Amino acid sequence: MADWKKRLGVLYSTNPDFDYERTDSSQSIETLPEERQELRISISRRHRAGKEVSLITGFVGSEGSLEELGKLLKQRCGVGGAVKQGEIIIQGDQRDKLLEILLSLGYKRTRKA
């Protein structure tokens, strides 16, 4: 990999002794087991032109694990979606189906607030 690609987060430094240290934050986060995850399923229309999406938040773990869970949920629901900023976004109001899928995968059910 080219040296400049490793420093994409650093714009400019006037310090002649500056040594860029790359940190991979995605590898340092340990994914909690399913039974210890506290996921929240909600519905949102914000910034989506009035269309409903189901949001799954509260996942603690690596970005790769989150992507994998998002892909599985999209496949099982048969709809599109995305994984952005630590949230899984599933198109439509899929709350009941998502809850059923997550429970079958071993995630725990917490009481509603």
The single-letter DSSP state of residue 30 is P
pTM: 0.70
- For 47-91, the pLDDT digits (tens) are 888 899 999 999 999 999 999 999 999 999 999 999 999 999 999
Q: Do residues 53 and 91 lie in contact, with contact meaning Cβ atoms separated by under 8 Å?
A: yes
